[in-house]
Amino acid sequence: MINPKHLIRLLYIQLLVIADTRIDLSFKIISAGKLLMVFAPLAFILKTVKLWFISNEAFVSGFLVIVALNAVFGIWRHLKMNKFSWIKFFWGTTMMLIAVIGVYAVLSIVAGIVGDNYIGNGFEVSLQTMTLMYPGAKIIKSIHIIYDGKYPPEWLMKKVYNYQKNGDLSDFFKQKNNENEN
């Protein structure tokens, strides 16, 4: 594995070689090529990530709010149950973020292959909804426990659990009077 300190030193040396007026032009060109090979892919990745953040600002903002709310209500729930541990909290939150971001990244790549059309847009919307619903469902469950099952109502909790089982959002958004069909 490449040591980051070593890489930074090498890049710094390449910059010094390019700047030194006593060094031959061919050696400077080789040094510039080495720098380009390191920084060009990095610049491309950073530009791609920046463009993604700009075009998905609402999703990213919503995700950050939901993750923060999940932390607040998760801590509250575990404090109420006398089972709170900072280690478990950080570990659980880290594992959730790795899972959600990993699944989102993989499926987002698949959505990118589908293209910018109705199918691709629909897939992207369902992917973002699914990504937000995982920590969102955890918030709803925590609130349900905090309020001793009084809120949110049981019919909504059934919809949350059904969504987690089958991923059907249309069932999740059905009106309460259709609840007898479940």
> Mean pLDDT throughout 130-151?
93
**Is the predicted pLDDT of residue 4 greater than 80, yes or no?**
no
DSSP structural state of residue 178:
G
User: Using one digit for the tens of pLDDT, what is the confidence trace for 144-160?
Assistant: 999 999 999 998 898 88
Q: What angle do CA 74, 83, 64 make, to 5 degrees?
A: 15
**Is the predicted pLDDT of residue 179 greater than 60, yes or no?**
no
pLDDT at 177: 54
**Is the predicted pLDDT of residue 44 greater than 60, yes or no?**
yes
Q: Is 111 buried (19+), middle (13-18) or exposed (0-12) by CB count in 10 A? A: buried
Position 80, amino acid: K
Q: Is 85 buried (19+), middle (13-18) or exposed (0-12) by CB count in 10 A? A: exposed
pLDDT at 82: 95
Cβ pair 17, 27 in contact under 8 A = yes
Confidence of residue 2 (pLDDT cuts 50, 70, 90): low
Q: What whole-number distance in Å separates Cα of residue 166 and Cα of residue 1?
A: 42
User: Using one digit for the tens of pLDDT, what is the confidence trace for 57-97?
Assistant: 999 999 999 999 999 999 999 999 999 999 999 999 999 99
Instruction: Show me where the domains of the chain are located.
Output: 4-43, 57-151
Confidence (pTM) = 0.69
